[in-house]
Structure 1
Amino acid sequence: MNKYTKGLMVLNKRRQVLKWVAGGSAIALTPQMMHFARAADDFLKGPPVKDIPAKQIGPHVWLVYSPDGFPTPENQGMMANITFVVSSKGVILLDTGASVQIGEMAIRMIKRVTNKPVIAIFNSHYHGDHFLGNQAFVEAYGKDVPIYAHPYSIAQIKGIEGNAWRNLMERWTNQATAGTKVIAPTHSANHGNVFHYGDVRIKVHHHGVAHTPGDISMQVIEDKMTYVGDIAMGNRIANIDDGSYVGTFKTYKNLQSSEGDQIWIPGHGEPSKQLLKEYGEFLAGIYETCVKAVKDGQDLSVAKSLVLKDPRVSKRAKTMQGFDNNIGKYTSLAYLEAEKEVF
């Protein structure tokens, strides 16, 4: 079990504790203690993140690519792609990274491409590596910059998830992300919404629970490109603790049937026309094997061994980031979901 997996377990425990505290079962911090904590956060700030030049992947779309799939002290939390769209009206961000430092780096890279201001931000979901960079953009472009997310994600970030993820990122990076503040999305983005930015339109897709209950994908209509966040990944085994295999397959089907041929841009990994198909095959190798095991009356240990032998899974074992540390856990989640679906 690696630090990332342990951190997710800590996050789940933290959720329970914070809910208990919120219920009034613990002593509240005094105003003086809260002021001191805020002052300490303002004083301490991690170092800048090294520049990663943006590469153009579409007529309007640029990508600040992260080769790493998990946060470490060495990469300072730079583990997720940052995608931005340059329209005639200004720049639109599709996820902002895992810290204020990463957001500041992204701003430097945007300024190398265009002198247009950032006019809108979209957060694909409520995991910290996709929204904790919001602070940098608000500080650079003003508090009136709208930040869009699904209503469920907004509620989670404003609730216990926001600070829980901020603390986890500091722990995973040995405080490299220190100084980051939680800036929650300000506007709801719902399925079918279309946002007009001069020569570019961005359409929002939400098809239920996939990677999380609040995932949104952003389609850049004119470029035939869709940023899917973490519902599909290039070469990283996805955290599906808050999600659903069945819901993910449904989302893939709906996206492909409604939008047809697209370049799919993941939150982790390289963009590809085959992304949903290839990652869907990997997930199916896990889930369909568990369904068969459940129907055959085989226990979880047998299901795990069968998953590892499935060619759709085994061919990714040596190259997929996080495979060894996470395949057991996500097979267990698939088995539990299969039991619910079968029975």
Structure 2
Amino acid sequence: MKRRHLLTASAVLGGAALWPEARLLAQQTQDFIEGPPVADIPAKQLSAHTWMIFSPDGFPTAENRGMMSNVIFVVTSAGVVVIDSGASLQIGQMALRMIRKVTDKPVVAVFNSHYHGDHWLGNHAFVKAYGKQLPIYALQSTIDKLKGAEGNLWRSLMERWTNQSTLGTEVVLPNTAVKHGQVIQIGDVTFRMHHYSNAHTPSDLCVEVVQDKLTAVGDIAMGNRIANMDEGSYPGTFKYYQALMAATGEQLWVPGHGQGSKDLLKTYGEFMAGIWEPCLQAVKDGKSESEARNMVLKDGRVTSRAKTMQGFEGNIGKYTSLAYLEAEKEAF
């Protein structure tokens, strides 16, 4: 059912709430309600085996239909491995179309970097295409987080943020847990798992594509978008960067948001330090949170990114506040 019929369907469901069979009818009707397709974004090759479907937007809107994060895929001799599947069934379906323009090999595995919905709700498309036996890897903490209400919450949020464009997306959770340091060989490509500390979330999985000297870093660093730090840690982020760089050496760091680069952890780390260090100093000097915010907004590492960074104006105050609160704990 296309979006022009959604109003009628909603009315039917509203009336059905009065019937004993309401739940069954709602489920049957939901099976036919599906948001519009997402426009194709051709994949670009990043390295010998790795491609990326790049999202120019960092936040979900009705216009972009939830296409707010990159979908990465690796073509191995055994099949295609997807790293982060997108924010909806429709985005996953678009990714499948783009994969098929590159190779006729099947998708044989999916990795989800963490539990935020724009990185895993596209799982539905891949399971729909290849069956429930398809391995979907994530940290156990991500799987546990999504088992409860969190999974459905993300599905509902994405529908709301996109004016129902993602309707029809089902919650398909990761089904296979991985651990830090684990190595998974798929065809001729080796994948190494990394997880060091609480950075963007407590459950950030980075996936190293060993032969390509490329690591998909999820949301621990971003190209040109201010990161959500509601569940994260500033010092934890810096520790993660140090440990990851020490373990891998020089890499092409590919984020969930923005373009990849070999200096991504350095440049994004400098921006994050421009928020963290003034807040920590303000706490040590007995200054207020508002004074700390003024210090952050004058820091050259922050001002150099302010005009171009997506989400800066709407979020810098909140994430400065979070840094100040964490600095209070760190200082004492």
TM-score (norm 2): 0.93
Alpha-carbon separation, structure 2, partners of 1:181 and 1:49: 16
The total of aligned residue pairs comes to 314
Alpha-carbon separation, structure 1, partners of 2:156 and 2:215: 30
List runs of 5+ in structure 2 lacking aligned partners.
Answer: 1-18
- Of residues 246, 249, 253 in structure 1, which corresponds to 2:242? 253
Deviation per CA, 1:113-151, whole angstroms, max 9, x where unpaired?
A: 000000000000000000000000000011111000011
- The 3 A distance-change label for structure 1 pair 309 and 106 is same
Give the CA RMSD over aligned residues: 1.2
Task: Give the SS at the match of 1:43.
Answer: coil
| 1:222 correspondence with 2:211 | yes
- Of residues 134, 138, 150 in structure 1, which corresponds to 2:127? 138
Alpha-carbon separation, structure 2, partners of 1:141 and 1:245: 39
1:32 CA displacement: 4.8
Residue number in structure 1 paired with 2:181: 192
Residue number in structure 2 paired with 1:14: none
1:33 CA displacement: 4.8
Residue number in structure 2 paired with 1:13: none
Residue number in structure 2 paired with 1:124: 113
Which residue identity is paired with 2:234? Y
Task: Give the SS at the match of 2:36.
Answer: coil
Deviation per CA, 1:6-61, whole angstroms, max 9, x where unpaired?
A: xxxxxxxxxxxxxxxxxxxxxxxx99554344334322110000000001000000
- Of residues 82, 91, 97 in structure 1, which corresponds to 2:71? 82
- Of residues 263, 266, 275 in structure 2, which corresponds to 1:274? 263
| 1:239 correspondence with 2:242 | no
List runs of 5+ in structure 1 lacking aligned partners.
Answer: 1-29
| 1:299 correspondence with 2:288 | yes
Alpha-carbon separation, structure 1, partners of 2:283 and 2:229: 20
1:104 CA displacement: 0.1
Alpha-carbon separation, structure 1, partners of 2:64 and 2:37: 11
| 1:341 correspondence with 2:310 | no
1:156 CA displacement: 1.2
Alpha-carbon separation, structure 2, partners of 1:44 and 1:37: 10
Deviation per CA, 1:222-251, whole angstroms, max 9, x where unpaired?
A: 000000000000000001111111111110
Residue number in structure 2 paired with 1:320: 309
Q: Equivalent pairs: percent with the same residue?
A: 62
Task: Give the SS at the match of 2:108.
Answer: strand
- The 3 A distance-change label for structure 1 pair 34 and 189 is farther
1:270 CA displacement: 0.3
Residue number in structure 1 paired with 2:155: 166
Residue number in structure 2 paired with 1:107: 96
Which residue identity is paired with 1:55? K
Which residue identity is paired with 2:219? D
Which residue identity is paired with 1:241? D
Alpha-carbon separation, structure 2, partners of 1:86 and 1:152: 27
Residue number in structure 1 paired with 2:51: 62
